[in-house]
Amino acid sequence: MTEANRVQVICAFCGGKGRDPFEIMSPLATCQVCGGRERRTLHPPTASCAFCRGTGVHPGSRNTCTTCAGVGTVQIPEGAVTCPCCGGSGRSADYVWLESPLSCFCCHGKGVVSATKARLLQPLGSEGPR
């Protein structure tokens, strides 16, 4: 891919400030996600991270999101469809703990999968010839 095909996104972890938002090392420490550059470069198509809801922070912690690596945006496959396993939430289907801290095993927290993978993940008998 050429440079023209890339998209610049603002770092969600630091909010585009280039500094560590939690000031863990010091108030002057650079952001560990963007390295102080305030932006990251991704190849399109992109979408907001479903697992962290675009914040770049792992839910319930001060760590970077494991799905988007703190960017808040993820690269998605061409012709992506909603993940049939999590319904697009990006979280593991846990009926006891609705705000599960685990990412979906099918889409890896992105909330979308390729159309081919969606057909493979479709439960047997829900559609198709009988």
pLDDT in tens, 6-43: 888 889 888 889 888 877 777 788 888 888 898 888 88
Average pLDDT over residues 45-51: 92
Whether the full predicted model's pTM is greater than 0.85, yes or no, is no
Distance, CA of 84 to CA of 67 (rounded, Å): 18
Residues 81 and 99: beta-carbon distance below 8 Å: no
Q: What is the pLDDT of residue 119?
A: 87
Residues 49 and 43: beta-carbon distance below 8 Å: no
DSSP 92-114: ---SS-TT-SSBPTTTTTSSEE-
* Neighbouring residues of 62: CB distance < 8 A, sequence distance ≥ 6: 22, 24
